[in-house]
Structure 1
Amino acid sequence: MTDTLILTIDVHAEPAAVFAVLADPANHPAIDGTGWLRGSLDPGPVTGEGQIFRIRMYHDNHPDGYYDMANKVIAFEANRTVAWEPGQAGTDGELEFGGWTWRYDLEPVGPGQTRVRLTYDWSRVPAQLREHITFPPFPTSYLEGSLQNLSTLASGR
């Protein structure tokens, strides 16, 4: 079994419009296909590699219900690529990353058309975490819905 899911969608919008939606964490709850994302905790868009942006989350199976994720931007090329690795503050307050990543690659495929490739990769999730969380932790249909949400948001810009 592979530890990566890759899905694509063609969006009726220029790459800059698609990227603007993805680079603003305030849009992520509207893009989310799981219903787990509740809001951005940091103002403004992602502007470069190494940046941390935080998202408020909710999951019925989380011990606290609500929790925060800190996402480290690991790839950034304006209007082409944005990727991040989710993590949380450990007991010492330092960020610890779980080993899974989200990556969006954008390719112009015609006037006003962008092919979006979403890569969800959990290949670096350690064995002890896999004992508690099944990967992927959602059906592929959630990612398909997420890409459709992205398309709707970007097409409206």
Structure 2
Amino acid sequence: MSPEQISATRNIPAPAADIFAILADPARHHDTEPSDWVREAVDAEPITAVGQTFNMNMYLQQIGGAYVMENLVSVFEPDRAIAWRPGMVGPDGTATPGGWQWRYDLTPGDGETEVTLTYDWSEATPEARANVPQWPPFPQSYLEKSLAALERAATS
């Protein structure tokens, strides 16, 4: 584990395929969010491959309210792992990557799936580091609450 990443793990009583289906569906990402930061998918096409992008409407009062993030899929291993690298979409419609990644690793078990969520900011740009007062910008508890939200989505 790098000093510039944090992780949380939770055993979720659902098949890995069901959990992966939620994570690969941008329209369901709001269901995995412990706050109201992630809103809705701009276009709800499922994630199918590394290199694909998907945009999400977001809201965070601390940075002025509504904005859009473009997410570049960096890992796609069905029912095993999925990750994306967000970049904020500017007024010209292009995304500026920040240098961080959200990654989910799924390990199927007997009647449950171990899910590890990792937030990695090791490639954060100097601009991102200058604009964020502390790294990580999320406490460990945020990842734990996110996994609890994912469990609710997978088991309801």
Q: CA RMSD in A?
A: 1.6
The structural deviation recorded for 1:103 is 0.4
The amino acid across from 1:149 in the alignment is A
Q: How does 1:108-127 map to 2 (within 5 A)?
A: 108-110=108-110, 112-127=111-126
What is aligned with 2:28? 27
Q: SS in structure 2 opposite 1:124?
A: coil
- 2:69–2:95: 8 Å Cα contact kept in structure 1? no
- Whether contact under 8 Å (2:12, 2:113) holds in the other structure is yes
Shift of 1:109: 1.6
1:117 offset after TM fit, Å? 0.8
CA contact (8 A) 2:51 2:73 kept: yes
8 Å CA contact 2:67–2:88 kept in 1: the answer is no
Q: What does residue range 1-157 of structure 1 map to in structure 2 within 5 Å?
A: 2-63=3-64, 65-90=65-90, 93-110=93-110, 112-133=111-132, 134-156=134-156
TM-score, length-normalised on structure 2? Answer: 0.92
The one-letter code sitting in structure 2 at the alignment partner of 1:100 is W
Deviations 1:86-141 (A, max 9, x none): 0123566443210000000111121x210001110001112332121122212221
TM normalised by structure 1 equals 0.91
Q: 1:62 to 1:13 in 2, by over 3 A?
A: same
Task: Determine what percentage of the aligned residue pairs are the same residue.
Answer: 44
Query: 1 CA distance for matches of 2:94 and 2:56?
Result: 17
Name structure 2 gaps, 5 residues minimum: none
**Which runs of structure 1 show a deviation greater than 4 angstroms over 4 or more consecutive aligned residues?**
90-93
Unaligned stretches of 5+ residues in structure 1? none
Q: How many residues align?
A: 154
Distance 1:30 1:102 in 2: 16
Q: For residues 30 and 76 of structure 1, what CA distance do their matches in structure 2 show?
A: 20
1:154 match: secondary structure: helix
